[in-house]
């Protein structure tokens, strides 16, 4: 197990992509700090399952990362409870869809706070410890929407482009500190975040979810398949490996060809 002895904070890891990443890191021996919202019993069950299956320590921190001070608390709690922070995965994110002129201000502020600012505050809090150990991995979950746009997603697209930019800046500053910083840019992954968009589309068009799934994929991706959270987890594990030690500042697509067009 390549990550035994490392500690990872994965934000937004109570469901979807974050949970896939937490599981992949745990399967390589990393101790995990989970974060996110959800039913307390279900979260306890996830903790127990991962800890038992992979013989690692799995803690949970329920910080609401749209508040800067809670982002710092989550980083500090990881260091205090698990003895360090070697791998930071900034994954928590939300979506809201509306044309610019109808986009609610509070949705703009909320998406920017969580999808962009939390990444900044978490990196800021985590970097000193990584520098002192001369080893660290920061993986920011951006999106194909960090590289190209779609209509009706002004806040999400702006935030994800911001994440790609912030990733590059941190990578340059840390280039000779043993710390790499990269952004993953997934295409469609079938998680609760996308399931909500499918339900909205089906309600609007009067069709069923299966039809909307096929249409959603075909609109953007040459490859008509969803990426799985497991594949994204595997990519994160690779970025934590020695083989990836010179990959830094890169927006890495895992998107069925979305941005190749
Ligand atoms: P999801 O809704 O399944 O999971 C989001 C996670 O974030 C959950 O654990 C949730 O509890 C947590 N969360 C939400 N608000 C939070 C807050 N204020 N503080 C702390 N945690 C909070 O979504 P997902 O699809 O797994 O998305 C994960 C990331 O991947 C997001 O950044 C998203 O933008 C990105 N992404 C998703 C897709 C996709 O197709 N699903 C594609 C590209 C990028």
Domain boundaries, the chain: 7-188+227-255, 190-226
Predicted TM-score (pTM) of the model is 0.98
Unique residue bearing structure tokens 């991706």: 221
Q: Which residues contact 242 (CB under 8 A, 6 or more apart)?
A: none
CA separation for the pair 226, 231 (Å, rounded): 10
**Atom 31 of ligand 1 has which residue's CA nearest to it?**
93
* pLDDT tens sequence across 179-236: 999 999 999 999 998 999 899 999 999 999 999 999 999 999 999 999 999 999 999 9
Choose which CATH entry (3.40.309.10, 3.40.50.300, 3.40.50.720, 3.40.1650.10) describes domain 7-188+227-255: 3.40.50.720
* pLDDT tens sequence across 46-69: 999 999 999 999 999 999 999 999
Token digits for 203?
Answer: 């309600």
**Atom 9 of ligand 1 has which residue's CA nearest to it?**
12
**Atom 7 of ligand 1 has which residue's CA nearest to it?**
12
pLDDT at 1: 65
Q: Which of 13, 4, 7 is nearest to 85 (CA)?
A: 7
160: left (phi over 0), alpha (psi -120 to 50) or beta: alpha
Ligand 1 pocket check for 38: Cβ under 6 Å = yes
* Contact indicator for 50, 30 with CB cutoff of 8 Å: no
* Contact indicator for 155, 166 with CB cutoff of 8 Å: no
Ligand 1 pocket check for 93: Cβ under 6 Å = yes
CA separation for the pair 163, 1 (Å, rounded): 30
- On the CB side of 2, CA atoms within 13 Å amount to 12
């Amino acid at each position: 197990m390549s990550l035994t002895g490392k500690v990872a904070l994965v934000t937004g890891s109570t469901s979807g992509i974050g949970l896939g990443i937490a599981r992949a890191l745990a399967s390589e021996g990393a101790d995990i700090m989970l974060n996110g919202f959800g039913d307390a019993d279900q979260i306890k069950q996830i903790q127990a399952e991962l800890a038992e299956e992979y013989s690692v320590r799995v803690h949970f921190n329920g910080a609401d990362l749209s508040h800067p001070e809670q982002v710092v608390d989550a980083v500090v709690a990881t260091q205090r409870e698990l003895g360090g922070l070697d791998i930071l995965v900034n994954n928590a994110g939300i979506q809201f869809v509306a044309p610019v002129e109808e986009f609610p201000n509070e949705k703009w502020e909320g998406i920017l706070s969580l999808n962009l600012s939390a990444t900044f505050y978490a990196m800021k809090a985590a970097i000193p410890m990584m520098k002192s150990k001369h080893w660290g991995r920061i993986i920011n979950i951006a999106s194909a929407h960090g590289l190209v746009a779609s209509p009706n997603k002004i806040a999400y697209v702006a935030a994800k482009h911001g994440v790609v930019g912030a990733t590059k800046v941190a990578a340059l500053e840390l280039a000779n500190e043993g710390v790499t910083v990269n952004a993953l840019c997934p295409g469609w992954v079938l998680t609760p975040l996308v399931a909500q968009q499918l339900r909205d589309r089906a309600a609007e068009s009067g069709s069923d979810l299966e039809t909307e799934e096929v249409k959603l994929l075909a609109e953007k991706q040459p490859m008509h398949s969803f990426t799985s959270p497991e594949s994204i987890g595997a990519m994160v594990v690779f970025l934590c490996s020695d083989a990836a030690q010179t990959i830094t500042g890169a927006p890495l697509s895992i998107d069925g060809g979305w941005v190749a067009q």
